Structure 1
Amino acid sequence: MKFNFPWRTYQARLLSELGQHLGDNRLHVVAPPGSGKTVLGLEIMRQLNQPCLILCPTLAIRQQWGERLTQDFLNGQQPDWLSYELEKPGTVTIATYQALHAAVKRGDEVWNTLKRLAAGTLIVDECHHLQKAWWQSLMKTYEQWSPTLIALTATPPYDVSGYEWQRYQELCGLIDAEISMPELIAEGNLCPHQDYIWFTLPAAEEQAPLKAFQEAIDDLLDHLKANYTFREHLKAHPWLIRPEVCLEGIYENPSYFSALMIVLEGIGGVAPATAIGIIGADDSLIPEMNLEWLEMFLNEAFYKDPYFEPLIEQPCMVSIYRRLRKAHAIERRRIYLEEPPHLERRIRQSSSKLHAIAAIARAEYGSMGSSLRLLVLTDYIRAEALPRAELEDSPELQKIGVAPIFEVLRRLFPVEVEIGVLTGSLLILPKLLLPALRQHMAQTGLADSGLLASALPHDPHYVRLQPQEHLRKQMTGLVTQLFNDGQLQVLVGTNALLGEGWDAPAANTLILASVVKSFVTSNQARGRVIRTDPRQPAKAANIWHLACMDPYHHAGGLDWKKLAQRFRAFAGPSFEAAPRIENGVGRFHLGELPITPAAVAQTNRRMLEQAGMRDRLRRAWGESIQRGVHMAEEITLPVIRTRRQKQVYEVYWAKNQAMVAPQLEELVEMGNIVMPMVAAGSVAMVISGLIPPQVLLLVGVLLLLLYSLFNLGRNGYIGRLRRLVRQFEAEQQLRVRWGRVGVAAGLSALAAGAIGGWVTGLTVLLLGSAATGLALSLLQGPKLSAAQRQLDEAGNGSLLIERTARGILLTLRQLEMLSSPYFKIQLRMVESAADQQGCYLEGVTLQEEQLFLELLEEALGPIDNPRYLIVRKHYDGETLLSVQHYAVPGLFGQRRAEAEAYRESLQRQMPEPLELLYTRTFEGRRVLLAARAKTLADPEVMRQAAWR
C-alpha cells in the first residue's frame, strides 16, 4: 500500500503526531465531511501493519472504504487479502456494525473465526452511529481482542445524554485530534458557508393551544399561592422542619431539598429556620421560583416522595392534579410545565415552516437565479399529501414532509424552476427531463424498459417514476447527475437517503426542514452542501435552519432551545464589520428574542440581507482565517453575577464605604484650597520677577509629566479614584462637586492672564493643575487607591478566572498530567462581551485543552457534589468578612494528596487563605449543602470556540 497523492497540510500534521496520540492505544479523530477521514484511516492502518477490521454504519460507506483502498493506495487493483464478509475474513475485513452485532449475538462459527483472526487494528467509522445493541457487541469485541482502536467521526454526539456520552467516550476515549472547518476552507477542501436561521411564529390555529396551556399554568400558579392547606403540608415536610434527622435523604437528592424551599417561598410561605440553618444562610439566597424548579418539585411530590403519598387523595392535592390534567401537562407519569411533548411536536411540525421554506426559496432564487442548486431535506415523505386530481386543495399541506414541501415549491415556481423529489419510495421529476434521464441510463448501460413514468394527476408537467427493483439503487445517482448538471435546480429528499454519504458538489443551498433536532443528523446533512465544486471555484453555500418560536414561552420554546444548542457545534463568520469565526448563535447578535411578529420579520430580513451577499461571505472567511491560526475553545463567565462574587464585593463595599466617602469629600475641598494657593504664588513670582514665565512653564510641564507617570492609566491613583467616585455616585452615597476645582483653576488662570499676559495665564493653569494633582495624589491617593484595589479584586470576575486557571495548570504540571512542554503553554484572557470574561489555552494538545476546560468548568460553575471543597476566607485584619466555597474538580478530588496539591497551587494565585474541606463527613455534608445552596442561582459556565 502507498498513498498515490500528496497529503493535505492538516492530514500530514495528524500523521506526524500519530505516536503521541496512540499512547493509550487509541486514536479518536473528529473531522468534517470531505476532510479525507477514510484515507487517513487507511494510512494509519498501513503504518500499524496489523490485521485490521473496519466497521461502518451502512453498506454504502463500506463500499466507499473498499474503493478508497483500491483506487488511492493500490492503483485500482483488487487485493485477495481484502474481504467484505465476516464469514470469510481477510487480512483486512470491511463490514457493518449490524453484521458484527449479528455474529456476536449468534455466537456461531463466524464469531469464533473473528476471535482467531484477532485483528490488531480496529477502525470504527462514523462511530456516532453506535446504537445500544451495536455498542454492546462492539465493546465485547474490543475487550476480547484489545486492539489498537481508531475512531473516526464527523459528528461526535455532543447533544446526547450524559450516560450516552460517557458510553461513547468509554470506547473511543477523549478526542485526540480535530480538523477544524477553517483549516479545510483555507486548504480549499470545503467551500465558505454560513448557517442562517429563519424564525417563524405558529399559525393562529396552532397558537390557540399554546396560549391555553400558558393560561392554565398561570391558573395553576395562582391556585398554588391560594392553596393554604397545601402550603401548610409543604411547610411541614420533615426535610424542612427536621432536616438534621433526614440528612441522608437530603444528601442523596439535594436538588429536591432546594426545590422544597424555593417552591414554599414562591407560593407565599416562609422556609423554616431549621431548613435555612442547614444551608448556613438566610432566605435571601433562595432563588426565585420558576417553572423549572416547580416542575422538579411536582414530579417528586406526585410520583416519588413518600411524604406526599398519603396526601395524594386529599382535596388540596387533587385540585392541583386536576389542573395539571386539564392543562394536558402530564404525559406518561411525568409533569411538564414549560412545553409538554404534544405541544413541542406541534411547534416542531408547524405549518409556518412550509411558508418559511417558500420564502427562503423565493429569496435564494432571486439572488442566485439559474445558478441556484437548492436541496431541501426533511424526515417524512407524506406521499398522501399529493393531490389526486387537478385543482384539489390538499389539507395535508399543514404537515412538514417531502410531498407537502414539493407542493409548496411547485405552486411557488410553476414554470421557471425545475423541481425534483428523490426518496426511497417517492421519485418525481419534471416531464421535460425524461429524455435526459433516459440518455444517462443508456450511457450507463441501463435499459429504460424497467422505468414506469406516469404524469401527476394535478400537474401534467411532472411525472412520478416507479423503477423496477433492479433500477432502484441506480436512480439516486441518475437524479443526482441531473441536479449536478443544472437541469434540476431544486431537489427535495429525506435525511435517510440524502443526509449522509450522498455526494452532489453542485448543491449550494440547503434548507434543513428536519423535525429531529439532532446535532449528528444536522451536521451530516450540512456536509452535503459545503463540499467544493470544480465547476464552481467561487462556490459559497447557505444553510438554512428553521425555528418556530413559542410566543407564550419565556425563552421562545424548546424548538428554539434545541436549535441554539445545536449551533454550538456549527462555526461561521460573525455578523460584524470585522467578523471572526466562532460557534453558537451569539455570532448573529440577535439582541431581542424574536417572539413578536415585528421582531421575527426584522430578524428574517437581516438574515436574508446577509444571505444575499455570498461574495462578502467568501471575503469574511478569508479575512477571518488570516487573523488566526487555530480553533480555540474558551470558558466564559459573567464578570460579577455569581452570588459568590456579589457577596465578596458587597462585603468590601460596606467595609470601605464609611471611610472612603468622607475622604473623597475632603479631597475635593483640599483641591479648592491648593489650586488658588498655587495660582497666587505663581502670579506673585512672575510679577515680582523672581522667576520668568518661561521657567515656570517648564516647571509646570515637568510636574505634569511626573503626575502622568504616577497617575495615568486605569490602575494609577487617579484612574482608581475616578472609578471609586463613579461607584459612590451610582450608589448615591456621595455627591462630588468637582466643578469647584475647575472653577478655581479657571479663575486663577484668568486672573494671572489679566495681570501678566496669556503666557502667564497658561503657565499658572498648567502648573496649578499639575501641582494640585500631585498634592492630592500623594496626600490621599494611597488610601483611596488601596480601597479601590480591594473593590477591583473582589468584583473582578476575570481575575478569578485567571487565578483559578493558573492554579489548575500548575496542578496538572505537578501531577505530570501534561505532555506538552510547560514553557510553551500560554493562558489567554479574552473579553467575549461587555460583561463576559473568558480564557483559553495555547500550546497544548486537543486532549489537554479539553481536560483543562472541563476542570475549569467544574471549579467555577455551580457546586454539585464534589468530594472536596476549597474554602476561601476574606479577612480585614483578624476580622472574618466573608467565606466562599468552590468545588475541587473531580480529577483532583479522588485522593486527598491530589486535592491538597490543587489547594496549594491555587493558594499561590490567591491573596486570601484557602482551606481544603472533605465533604464526605457529617460536618462536610452540612457545609456542602450550604455551599450548593449559595450557587443555585449562579449562571452556568459557558464554552465557546473561536478561530484565534
Structure 2
Amino acid sequence: MHENATTSPTTRAPALPLRDWRFQGTLRGYQAEVLQQVTTTPDDPLHIVAPPGSGKTLLALLLAVRDGRRALALAPTVTIRQQWQRTALQLAPDAEQVSSTPDRLADLTVLTYQMLSIVAADTSPFEDLARLTWVDELVQSGRVQADAEAWLSELRDKNAAQYRSGIRRRSRRVRRQLVQQEPSELARVLHPNALALLENLVEHGVETIILDECHHLLDHWAFVVAYLAGRIRERGGSPHLIGLTATLPSTEDDEAYEIYTQLLGDVDYEVPTPAVVKEGHLAPYRDFAWFTEPIPSELAFIRKHEKRLHTLVGELLATETGIAFLVDKLQPPAADAALGAGSGTGERVTPAPPPAAAPTPDDMLAALDRALAQDFYLARSAGLALREVAPRHPLIGMLPAALLDRCTSDDLLSVLGRYSLERLLTDPEAQPLWAEAKRALADFGYHLTDRGIRRGRNPIELTLATSQSKDQAAATILRHELGRPDGERIRAVVITDFAVHGSQRSTSDGEPAGALRCFASLSADPVIAGLRPVLLTAQLLRVRAADAELLADALSDELGQPVQVEPTDAGAADLNAPGVGSGRLVEAVSALVARGTVRLIVGTRGLLGEGWDCPPVNTLIDLTAVATSSATQQLRGRSLRLDPAWPGKVAHNWSVACLIPANVAIDTPSEMARLRRKHRHLWGLSAEDNSAIISGLGHALHPDELGLLTRLLGKEKGASADQVNSGVLARMRTRAQSHADWRVGGPYAGHEQELVALSPDRSHPVLRSGPTLALLLTTFFACTAAVFGFAMSTLARSGAHSLGAEAVLWLSILLTAVVSGAVFAPAFLRAYRQRAQPTVVYRGAALAIARTLHEAGRVGEFGEGNIVVQEQRSGSGRNGKSVVSGITVEFNGGSAADRAVLADALAELFGPVQKPRFLVRVDRGPIGRLSTVFAGPIAVIERMLPTRTLLSVPAAIGRRKADAELFARHWAKSVGACTLHEVTGVEGVAQLREARAASGRLNRFEPRGRSWA
C-alpha cells in the first residue's frame, strides 16, 4: 500500500503537487506498518508517537505525499527545521518545491513554530482571550465597552484575588473550547505579523500541517495551529493535521493536555523504542543511576536547616501547650460528647466539663481509634512528634509499633503547620511565636498564611538539584567509562539545565551551578582533559586554553571562516565565529566529535536536549532536574543514533541524583521522586535479567542496589551512596555484552505487560499468618499430648493409677493426635508449599482479583496463563546463597485497559491501606469452625503473632457488597481461608487502625511498571 502511494507513476494534478514525490530507499518494518495501518483523511488528524531516530520525518513526509496537497511542516528548533529540509529535498523532484523561509512559500514549506507564535501581549493568550470574553459579557449585560474595560482594570487593582479568580474561570472555558473557537476570536490575541504570515499560508493553498514534536502544542503554539486550521476551513478547505512526537506531554496539567488532545485526538500508532533497537535502527543502550551526597559547604547549609527545625520543634511543641495540642489530635472527643444536649433549636452549645476521673486505657484506645479514623496521617504525624518531645507519654505505648517509624521532616512540618494555625494565629499573645514559625517554615520552602501552608521553592531541594557533587559525579563516571573496554571510543555529552543557574541561595561558596561550573570542574581533571572538552551553550563556545588553537583551526576548517580565540580566566578560552548562527556552530562541533578531535561536550538542555544529532555520542550524563516524559525521552534520544564508525555501538545513559546522608536526620523526597519519574517513562534492559525489557528503576538498578538505597533513604547507620555506586560498577556489563543482550535482529512479539512489584520482605503475613498459626496449633496439641502422656505414664508406673487408666489415657492421646493431624495436616502441607513456593500465594491473589472482576463484567477473561509471578533473587543471603529479593506479578493478554485495571487492583490490595469499604482478613488459615472451640489457644498464639493480616479489598471490587463477597469466595479457592469485614462501627474503626498499622507490601521504588516482549 505504501509503495503504491509513494512510487507509482501518477499524473500530477494542480491540487496535488506532492503526488509526484518519490522515495527511492527501503522502508523500515514499523514505517511500512504505519503506512499500511493508518489512513490519511482530510480534517481527521493523525497522531503518531515514535522515539528519536526512528525515522518520523520520512514517515510524515510519505503520509503528506499520500495526501498530495500543499503542506506546511512546523519544527521546534532551527536544527530540526534543517533536518526536515534535507529529507524533503531527497524526495522532491525539484528543489524549488521545498522552502524553509516564510518569504518564499513552496509546495512544502518548513518553518519553526516561533515564526508563527508571536502573540499580541506578553501574557498567556488564554488569559488575554479570557479578559476579552469577560468584557464581552459585561457589554452584553448593558455596559459600554470602555466602561467595562475600566471596571475590570479597577477590579484588578483593588481586588486582585477576585480578578484572578474570574480570569482563571474564563480561561479554563476558553481552553476547553479552543478547537471550536472561531478564527476571528483567536485572531484577537495574535500579533499582526503572525496573522499576515498565516493568511499567506492559507492563500497559498496549504492544507496539510505536519506538527513535529507536537508535545509542544500546549499554549501559544496550540492557538496558532487552531487558528490556521480554522482559517483553512473558512476558505472551504479540509485541514489535515499530522502530529509527531517521541512522547506524549505530561498529564499533570489537565487543561493543557486537554488542548493537546482536542487538536490531535488519541494516538493512532506508537512505535516503542525497543522495537526500533531490535530492528537495528537505533543503538542498543543501558541505563544507570549514580548517587552523590552534598559537598561539605552544602551539607553545612542543610544541617543548619535541620538544627533550625528541631529547635523550632523544641520551642513550640515541647511546651505544655504544644504537648496538649498533640494529645488533642490523638485523643479527639466522641461525636456525642463534642455536642451538648442542645435546647431543641439545633444550636450548638458548650459541652459539659469532662469528669474529673482520668480516662481509662480502654477510653484512650477508643479515642486513638477515632483519631486514626478521622485523619490517619495527621494522627500518625502527631504521634511521631509526641515521641520526639515527650517520649514517656502514656499514649506512645498505645500507638501501634508499625506507626512509630522514623519521624521525618515532613511529619514535623505538617504538625507545625496545623499547630501554628490552630494555636498561635488565634492567640494575640502568641504572635511573636507565629512570626518565628512563619520565618522558619519559609526556610523550608513553605509559606505559612492564614489559609494554611503553601508549598514554595524549597532551598534544600534546590541545594540537592544543583549540588556541586553532581559535577564531581560526572567526572567520576567519565573516568570509569574511560577505564573500561572500548574506553578509547568514548564520545560523551554532559547535559545541565542552564549555562548559569539563576539562584545561588543554596551555595555558600564557589561558582553558581550550571554548565559553566560543570565545564570548569571537568576541565580541571587531568584524565578528562584528554577528551578536549567543549562547553556549548546558546551564547558560549568555551574550551581549555591548552586546546584553544587546535580546536579553533579545526572549527575554521569546518565553517570555512576564521575562528577567533579570546582567553578567559581560569585557564579557558572562548571561540568566536562572527556571523555564524548557533545551529551551524552546533553542527561544526558535532563534526569534530565525529572525527575524534573533541570527545566531550558540556551543554544545556535547551540547546542539546531536542533535535541535536551527533551519532558518535555514546555516553550521556544527565544532570538536569527535569523529569517529564517528553524531556526525558528527548534527552535519551541524543545518544541512541547509530554510529557508522562503530557498528557495535552501545549507549550508556547515566542519571545523577544527590541524596542527604544517612547521618543527617532531615530528608526530602525530591531527588528520588525525580529519578523515579525519569525512569518511569523509559524502556531498558532489566538490571537483574539481562534479557528482559522493562520500564522503571529496575532497568537502572539491580534489586541489591535498590536494597542498599532503601537503607540509605531509611537513614540506617553506615549506609552511603558509595555503597550503591560500588554495586552499580561491579555489575556493569561490557558494551559488547549489552549489545548481545539486546539480540538485535532477533524476533520479538512487541507486546506490553503490566507489572506489580512487591516488597522483598520475606516475612509477608500472607506467608506467615494462617499456615503458621495452623502449624503452631498442631505443635501445641502435640506438645500438650506428649506432656500429659509422660505425666500419666509416670503416675501409672508409680502405682498411682491402674494400667487400665493408663491405656485409656494413651487411647485419648492417640485420638487427639489423629484428629489434630486430620484437621491440620492440610494446613501444614499448604504452609510448606507457600514457604517453598511463595509465588503460589500471589498468583492466587491475582487470580482472585481477575476472576472477580471478570464475573462482575469489568474486564475480559484472564486465566492462569495470563498471570506470571516471578521471584527476584540475589546472592546476599548467608554463605552467598541467593535469597528472594522481591516478587513481580505480570498481567499479559487482554486489552491494555483491562491489564491496567487488574494491576491497579492488585497494587491496591497489597499497598498501604487508605479508606476501603471492605477489609479481608487472610490469616485465619484452616481453623474455620474450630475457632470457637480453640478460642483460648488461638488468642495465646495471636499474642505471639500480634500483627494480623487485614488487606484492602480494591475499590474496583469493593463498590458492591456482592462483588466483595465474590472476591472472598475466590480468595478462599485460590489462596486459602479468609474473612470479609465491612468497615463500619467501632469494630470497623479498630480493624482499619490495625490494617493501617501494617506496612504495605509494594516495592517502595517502583510498585507499578511495564514489561515489553
Instruction: Specify if TM > 0.5.
Output: yes
- Is 1:495 aligned to 2:495, yes or no? no
Measure the CA separation in 1 of the matches of 2:24 and 2:336.
72
Q: Is the 8 A contact 1:432 1:461 kept in 2?
A: no
Distance 1:308 1:863, change over 3 A: farther
Report the equivalent of 1:205.
Answer: 297
Distance 1:337 1:286, change over 3 A: farther
- Is 1:661 aligned to 2:780, yes or no? yes
Measure the CA separation in 2 of the matches of 1:118 and 1:869.
62
Measure the CA separation in 1 of the matches of 2:488 and 2:472.
22
Report the equivalent of 2:614.
Answer: 504
Measure the CA separation in 2 of the matches of 1:560 and 1:312.
41
Query: What letter matches 2:782 in structure 1?
Result: Q
Distance 1:308 1:417, change over 3 A: closer
1:858 deviation in Å? 4.2
1:424 deviation in Å? 1.5
Measure the CA separation in 2 of the matches of 1:332 and 1:619.
53
Which of 426, 436, 441 is the equivalent residue of 1:310? 426
Distance 1:587 1:59, change over 3 A: same
Query: For 1:764-783, what aligned pairs fall within 5 Å after superposition?
Result: 781-783=821-823
* 1:766-788 C-alpha deviation (Å, 9 max, x unpaired): xxxxxxxxx99998654332333
Distance 1:638 1:165, change over 3 A: farther
- Is 1:618 aligned to 2:679, yes or no? no
- Is 1:802 aligned to 2:843, yes or no? yes
Secondary structure, in 3 states, of the residue corresponding to 1:843? coil
Query: For 1:297-336, what aligned pairs fall within 5 Å after superposition?
Result: 297-298=414-415, 301=418, 309-311=425-427, 313-314=429-430, 318=434, 321=437, 324=440, 328-333=443-448
- Is 1:945 aligned to 2:1010, yes or no? yes
Measure the CA separation in 1 of the matches of 2:776 and 2:787.
17
Measure the CA separation in 2 of the matches of 1:321 and 1:651.
50
Query: What letter matches 2:444 in structure 1?
Result: A
Which of 301, 307, 313 is the equivalent residue of 1:215? 307
The answer to which of 616-625 and 484-493 deviates more is 616-625
Which of 113, 117, 120 is the equivalent residue of 1:96? 113
Which of 545, 561, 567 is the equivalent residue of 1:456? 567
Query: What letter matches 1:193 in structure 2?
Result: Y
Measure the CA separation in 2 of the matches of 1:289 and 1:602.
22
Secondary structure, in 3 states, of the residue corresponding to 2:633? helix
Q: Is the 8 A contact 1:191 1:531 kept in 2?
A: yes
Q: Is the 8 A contact 2:491 2:616 kept in 1?
A: yes
Query: For 1:766-915, what aligned pairs fall within 5 Å after superposition?
Result: 781-788=821-828, 798=839, 801-803=842-844, 805-806=846-847, 808-810=849-851, 826-832=866-872, 834=884, 836-864=886-914, 869=918, 876-877=928-929, 884=950, 886-889=952-955
Which of 11, 31, 36 is the equivalent residue of 2:50? 31
Q: Is the 8 A contact 1:196 1:545 kept in 2?
A: yes
Q: Is the 8 A contact 1:440 1:478 kept in 2?
A: yes
- Is 1:371 aligned to 2:489, yes or no? yes
1:832 deviation in Å? 3.6
- Is 1:527 aligned to 2:640, yes or no? no
1:265 deviation in Å? 2.7
Measure the CA separation in 1 of the matches of 2:413 and 2:531.
52
Measure the CA separation in 1 of the matches of 2:970 and 2:38.
32
- Is 1:404 aligned to 2:517, yes or no? yes
Report the equivalent of 1:8.
Answer: 28
The answer to which of 528-537 and 53-62 deviates more is 53-62
* 1:714-764 C-alpha deviation (Å, 9 max, x unpaired): xxxxxxxxxxxxxxxxxxxxxxxxxxxxxxxxxxxxxxxxxxxxxxxxxxx
Q: Is the 8 A contact 2:703 2:885 kept in 1?
A: no
CA RMSD of aligned residues (A): 5.9
Which of 586, 589, 593 is the equivalent residue of 2:704? 589
Gaps of 5+ in 2: 7-22, 120-182, 340-367, 389-397, 790-814, 874-883, 936-947
Q: Is the 8 A contact 1:128 1:155 kept in 2?
A: yes
Q: Is the 8 A contact 2:52 2:246 kept in 1?
A: yes
Distance 1:816 1:496, change over 3 A: same
Query: For 1:422-501, what aligned pairs fall within 5 Å after superposition?
Result: 422-428=536-542, 430-442=548-560, 448=561, 453-458=564-569, 462-468=573-579, 471-501=581-611
1:432 deviation in Å? 2.0
1:539 deviation in Å? 1.4
Q: Is the 8 A contact 2:446 2:454 kept in 1?
A: no
1:375 deviation in Å? 1.6
1:465 deviation in Å? 0.8
1:311 deviation in Å? 4.3
Measure the CA separation in 1 of the matches of 2:671 and 2:75.
31
Report the equivalent of 1:126.
Answer: 213
Measure the CA separation in 1 of the matches of 2:850 and 2:93.
49
Q: Is the 8 A contact 1:502 1:528 kept in 2?
A: yes
The answer to which of 596-605 and 856-865 deviates more is 596-605
Query: What letter matches 1:423 in structure 2?
Result: T
Distance 1:379 1:340, change over 3 A: closer
Measure the CA separation in 2 of the matches of 1:50 and 1:668.
95
Measure the CA separation in 1 of the matches of 2:83 and 2:771.
66
Report the equivalent of 1:227.
Answer: 319
Aligned residues: 802
Q: Is the 8 A contact 1:354 1:400 kept in 2?
A: no
The answer to which of 41-50 and 224-233 deviates more is 41-50
Distance 1:916 1:200, change over 3 A: closer
Report the equivalent of 1:569.
Answer: 681
Query: For 1:903-942, what aligned pairs fall within 5 Å after superposition?
Result: 931=992, 934-935=995-996, 937-940=999-1002, 942=1007
Q: Is the 8 A contact 1:505 1:532 kept in 2?
A: yes
Distance 1:232 1:47, change over 3 A: farther
Measure the CA separation in 1 of the matches of 2:654 and 2:49.
24
Q: Is the 8 A contact 1:196 1:543 kept in 2?
A: yes
1:75 deviation in Å? 5.6
1:196 deviation in Å? 2.9
Report the equivalent of 2:498.
Answer: 380
Report the equivalent of 1:421.
Answer: 535
1:636 deviation in Å? 1.8
Distance 1:839 1:438, change over 3 A: same
Distance 1:659 1:541, change over 3 A: closer
* 1:636-674 C-alpha deviation (Å, 9 max, x unpaired): 2237789xx74996477557644542237869999xxxx
* 1:548-590 C-alpha deviation (Å, 9 max, x unpaired): 2311257686334422442333444455696644441432732
The answer to which of 344-353 and 113-122 deviates more is 113-122
1:344 deviation in Å? 2.0
Query: What letter matches 2:277 in structure 1?
Result: I
Give the percent of matched residue pairs that are identical in Structure 1 and Structure 2: 23
Q: Is the 8 A contact 1:185 1:191 kept in 2?
A: yes
Measure the CA separation in 2 of the matches of 1:50 and 1:925.
71
TM-score, reference length from structure 2: 0.64
Distance 1:400 1:132, change over 3 A: same
Gaps of 5+ in 1: 271-280, 386-394, 443-447, 671-774
Distance 1:434 1:452, change over 3 A: closer
Measure the CA separation in 2 of the matches of 1:93 and 1:408.
40
Secondary structure, in 3 states, of the residue corresponding to 2:702? helix
Secondary structure, in 3 states, of the residue corresponding to 1:840? strand
Distance 1:777 1:927, change over 3 A: closer
The answer to which of 396-405 and 593-602 deviates more is 593-602
1:255 deviation in Å? 9.2
TM-score, reference length from structure 1: 0.68
* 1:652-699 C-alpha deviation (Å, 9 max, x unpaired): 7557644542237869999xxxxxxxxxxxxxxxxxxxxxxxxxxxxx
The answer to which of 846-855 and 351-360 deviates more is 846-855
